[in-house]
Amino acid sequence: MSHPWPYLDPNLPVEERIADLLARMTLAEKCAQLHSDFGLEMPGNQPLLNRLRQNFPHGVGIVNSYHRGLDTRQSVRFVNEVQRYLREETRLGIPALMFGEGLHGYMANEATSFPQAIGLASAWDPALHERIFSAVAREMRARGAHYVLSPVLDVARDPRWGRTEETYGEDPYLIARLGVAAVRGFQGERFSGAPDKVLATAKHFCAHGQPEGGTNCAPANYAERTLREELFAPFEAVVRQANIGAVMASYNEINGIPSHVNHWLLKDLLRGEWGFEGFVISDGWGVDDLYRLHFVAADAAEAAQKAMLSGVDAELGQCFRTLEQAVEAGKFPLERLDAAVANILRVKFLLGLFEHPFVDEETAVRITNCPEHRALALEAARKSIVLLKNQGGLLPLDKSKLRSLAVIGPNAAAVRLGGYSGNPLQPVSVLDGIRQKAGDSLEILYAEGCGLTQAAGTAAELWVKDEVLPVDPARDAELIASAVQTAQKADVVLLVLGDNEQTCREGWSVNHLGDRDSLDLPGRQEELLRAVYATGKPVILLLINGRPASINFAAEHVPAILEGWYLGQEGGHAVAEVLFGETNPGGKLPITFPRSVGQIPAYYYHKPSARRGYLFSEIQPLFPFGHGLSYTTFAYGEPRLDKATLRPGETATLTVEVTNTGERAGDEVVQLYIRDVLSERVTRPVKLLKGFQRITLQPGETRAVSFPVGPEQLQFLGEDMRPVVEPGEFLLMVGGSSETVCQVALHVIAG
């Protein structure tokens, strides 16, 4: 088959097709490839085709595929209409790159909703992680999306920050391992445009996770060592190890330079040192923030020029629309514009969009929230639950010995999914999951207990509402009194407390806040907890939330505590299984639980000079990083090294035997930490996670778990900021949390 122009010939190399198409494009057509539209997917007064003709006469690079209010079939029709217009009514027929959010499932109606990111991190299971994001990619491609704005690789070191829920926690190593797994799930080993894969985006680059004061977009003032060893590390991993296709610049500034104009960050480091070959995209309206928040640009035109010259290739916003005039006026080099356009076109050619821009409606319906994906969501929810406390073996509950169970709390009957959620099909609340599991064998009582915020609606609806209003104290008083009466009628009480999508979320403007200066349970939940506890009934606390909570009273008095985070659409089923012992919880905390805001920063890998303590307060957190109990018990043998001394370049193997000493099968996450006992001049953390494995053991079963220990695990940045393995003694610590460890010494000799 002959093609009128070479760029339309799929048999030609991609670079030849790019060169041919660029040569045919007008300046207006090139600029159109570098911006997107936030709002085309929203219902409007005009038919979609009219809006397309009005807004995109020269085409468009990237279009939001999130379809608020549209079901699966309608969303497919929307995507196909956009692509049909671009193919048939624009001069060169360049298709759009349809993007979407995929933090814990495709953020679209009816798509499968998995546990929120912080919950997925609690599973400590990279293989599961890769399977989940492979499923997300399948659903996205089936509905016409090709490009996902995930994963979030921010290192969350201040839980006041409302976006903590979007992260994989506080540890750079854990985040890197899960980040690489997520990217491979989305893209495959290397993005090739496979029909069931999407291009992934590493965000937010960088140092976004410990903003000044814990408020979103605030400055990140950190030394280069902290940036490189901790905050940059997950991003470097997905560039070097997973071939990430895109990187998103962050809203914050680093040492005075906003990321969107940070030449060193986006060019020297990302492309120069790490060899990144994909494209850099702005965060939503991040280029606008250069003149309206950071004040390093006078207007949209100057912001666009500075951002692109600093390394931003495409924009989620409107400023890049000014680039055409800038090039025409000689204020901006055409060569830089062409390079950015080539980066976008390359993805479109790899995806085969010029040949196959449309998607099939029936296929989309079949794949969206299919039985396989629902089962995967349930498996993920099971593995994400963390048992924080189980005094006296209150859990699991034996239904045969109970007559009634009270399920109380503002998160009992509501489905909480967290931020960046769609509206999944048939989501299951905690209350509904317990009722289904209990059947007729157990009376289930319910009371709301108290409110969280005034607004009502689905998770997606709550998350986007700007105004957050506290509930009426008088109504709460009545609800608490009613909850106490309900508790008094029951044998056992399950309190389901925590956050909703308004009390912990992205604070994207002064009119849409989401950060808090307290880690206490919001509203009157503490009052509810104490009132129910005072009844004398056995109480189980289940947290459904987006960040660590300073639950000091509960940690001391409540016998059983579960951390669920946001468990996704199957959360109610998973909770019921754990509650009644069908599933043995094996999750571990990916983030430290401070006793109060005053303990922040509380991350475990502090320097020896930190954490001296405060007057009248304990130095230890409520629950440490890596903590998580089980319905069974595990015993660790003495760790063994196959060699006690390492020469330069060598690698040793550490092996430890882990035994299930209880009567139930269960999962344990075996964790390896390393400490450099005496460094030359550069101080080292008290311990660093350098390996982990989640294993399943039957009662009485023993398994040997091994970890490599060599240059990759032992090196750090020396005084000259170059990687070095210093000679001396290292402590290798292994156990079930960052505080429960046994250890062995390893000696490294100089070369």
Share of the chain above pLDDT 70, in %: 98
Phi and psi for 101 in degrees, rounded to 5? -90, 145
Q: Which residues are bridge partners to 253 per DSSP?
A: 258
Average pLDDT on 105-134 reads 98
Residue 44: what pLDDT? Answer: 60
Helix (H, G, I), strand (E, B) or coil at 735: strand
Indicate if the pLDDT at residue 43 is higher than 60: no
Write the pLDDT tens digit of every residue in 339-361.
999 999 999 999 999 999 999 99
Would you say 176 and 237 are in contact if contact means Cβ atoms under 8 Å apart? yes
Q: Give the start-to-end residue ranges of the domains of the chain.
A: 385-599, 634-748
Contacts of residue 184, Cβ cutoff 8 Å, sequence gap at least 6: 130, 133, 242
Of the candidates 176, 318, 184, the residue with the CA atom closest to the CA atom of residue 245: 184
Write the pLDDT tens digit of every residue in 724-740.
999 999 999 999 999 98
Task: Select 634-748's CATH number: 2.60.40.420, 1.10.3720.10, 1.20.1730.10, 2.60.40.10.
Answer: 2.60.40.10
Residue 40: what pLDDT? Answer: 64
Tokens of 370: 């299919």
Residue 719: what pLDDT? Answer: 94
Q: How confident is the model at residue 2 (pLDDT cuts 50, 70, 90)?
A: low
Indicate if the pLDDT at residue 105 is higher than 80: yes
Of the candidates 250, 306, 258, the residue with the CA atom closest to the CA atom of residue 281: 250
Q: How confident is the model at residue 39 (pLDDT cuts 50, 70, 90)?
A: low
Strands 716-717 and 723-724: antiparallel
Would you say 278 and 228 are in contact if contact means Cβ atoms under 8 Å apart? no
Residue 28: what pLDDT? Answer: 97
The rounded mean pLDDT for the chain is 96
Contacts of residue 416, Cβ cutoff 8 Å, sequence gap at least 6: 459, 498, 499, 500, 501, 544, 566, 571
Q: How confident is the model at residue 564 (pLDDT cuts 50, 70, 90)?
A: very high
Write the pLDDT tens digit of every residue in 266-289.
999 999 999 999 999 999 999 999
pTM of the model: 0.97
**Residue 352 to residue 328: CA distance in whole angstroms:** 32
Q: How confident is the model at residue 519 (pLDDT cuts 50, 70, 90)?
A: very high
CA-to-CA dists, residue 407 to 431, 456, 493, angstroms: 7, 20, 6
DSSP state, residue 101: -
Residue 235: what pLDDT? Answer: 98
Sign of the dihedral defined by the CA atoms of residues 181, 182, 188, 191, in that order: negative
Of the candidates 142, 135, 137, 134, the residue with the CA atom closest to the CA atom of residue 73: 142
End-to-end Cα separation, the chain, in angstroms = 64
Q: How confident is the model at residue 46 (pLDDT cuts 50, 70, 90)?
A: confident
Residue 244: what pLDDT? Answer: 98
- Active-site residues: which are they? 283
Tokens 């319905």 sit at which residue? 631
**Reported CATH class of domain 385-599:** alpha beta
Indicate if the pLDDT at residue 598 is higher than 90: yes
Indicate if the pLDDT at residue 42 is higher than 80: no
Of the candidates 303, 46, 356, the residue with the CA atom closest to the CA atom of residue 194: 356
DSSP state, residue 470: P
The sheet carrying 666-676 orders its strands as: 645-646, 741-748, 728-735, 666-676, 688-697
Residue 740: what pLDDT? Answer: 80
Would you say 441 and 402 are in contact if contact means Cβ atoms under 8 Å apart? no
Average pLDDT on 91-108 reads 97
Average pLDDT on 38-61 reads 80
Average pLDDT on 201-230 reads 95
Average pLDDT on 480-507 reads 98
Share of the chain above pLDDT 90, in %: 94
Tokens of 623: 């629950």
Of the candidates 165, 151, 311, 138, the residue with the CA atom closest to the CA atom of residue 238: 151
Q: Which residues are bridge partners to 257 per DSSP?
A: 254
Q: How confident is the model at residue 741 (pLDDT cuts 50, 70, 90)?
A: confident
**Residue 415 to residue 427: CA distance in whole angstroms:** 7
Tokens 């005496």 sit at which residue? 678
Q: Which residues are bridge partners to 201 per DSSP?
A: 246
